[in-house]
Structure 1
Amino acid sequence: MADPSKVLYASEPALDVAEFRRVLVESGLGATRPVDDEARLKTMLGNANLVLTARLDIEGKPLIGVARGITDFSWVCYISELAVSASAQGLGVGKGLMDEAQRQLGPSVAISLISMPDAVGFYERIGMTRMTDAFWFSRKR
């Protein structure tokens, strides 16, 4: 189990795709992301302009969480993944990543995301406002 006092949060634009994949799988998001398509994962990371990581401050600095987003750094940021390894869930790592996003983006940038149904309570607990008017064109593959 992770010690929350030993978690380092940072911007990591060159995140290794294998580490990203591992956290997606361990977090439970692997069922909803293309984790078996390395090229697509690389593209997802390469085109995100906000990649934040949570790593344990121990030898090897293992990755335990990632927030990936798209932002203009002026008006809005869309968080497309907030993934925390199962072993670190419930320890404040997800909130820490969202706090780091707010810190790096500043008070003039709004943050939006689409929650998985079982994570809605988490976002409400950390103070995000539920929006009712969201729309979606589904992907074809």
Structure 2
Amino acid sequence: MNITYKLDIIPQAEEVITLFSKAGLKRPTEPERITLMLKNADVLVTAWQEEKLVGICRTITDWAWCAYLSDLAVFTDLKNSGIGKEMISITREKIGPQCMLILLSVPTAFDYYPKVGFNKEDRAFSIERKQ
């Protein structure tokens, strides 16, 4: 399996919508909203199998204290291949050692994140979006 990782390349919204769907992630399906999500990311790591987008890791950061990993998606048939772990590693290298990497996990990924270096936290709070 030959996977190429790219930094800050913005894929087409339709490719990302397909990826989110095939990765089993509930995300917006409006191309305009996806385009804004990608455009406003501070760190965008993508994984490609030839010309096909097979993974994405989208992060927002202040570059000094914290970084929020807002999306990590890999095609379901490529999970357990190390793609997600590699995209996290590239992200961590890009944000530097001074930033804490945080995320909110979907329930189906609770077992995954400790395997790739995340600590489970019981001190997070959120206000849900209305749309």
Q: TM-score, normalising length from structure 1? A: 0.87
Partner of 1:10, secondary structure, is strand
Displacement of 1:12? 2.5
Report the counterpart of residue 14 of structure 1 in structure 2.
Answer: 10
* Correspondence for 2:20: 24
Unaligned runs of 5+ in 2: none
Counterpart residue type for residue 138 of structure 1: E
1:14: Cα distance to partner? 2.4
Equivalent of 1:86 in 73, 76, 98: 76
Contact 1:9/1:55 (CA < 8 Å) preserved in 2?
A: yes
SS, match of residue 133 in structure 1: coil
What CA deviation, in whole Å up to 9, does each residue of 1:36-89 have, x standing for no partner? x11111111121121110112x3xx21110001111122211011000011211
The count of residues paired between Structure 1 and Structure 2 equals: 131
State the one-letter code of the partner of 1:8. Answer: T
Aligned match for 1:64, one of 32, 54, 71: 54
SS state of the match for residue 102, structure 1? helix
Structure 1 contact 13–50 (Cα < 8 Å) conserved: no
Is the partner of 2:70 in helix, strand or coil? Answer: strand
Distance 1:136 1:40 in 2: 21
Partner SS, residue 110 of structure 2:
helix
CA distance in 2, matches of 1:132, 1:107: 23
For the residues of structure 2 that align with 1:89 and 1:140, how far apart are their CA atoms?
31
Name the amino acid aligned to 2:20: L
Alignment of 1:100-115 (within 5 A): 100-115=90-105
Q: CA RMSD, aligned part only?
A: 1.2
Is 1:42 the counterpart of 2:35 in the alignment?
A: yes
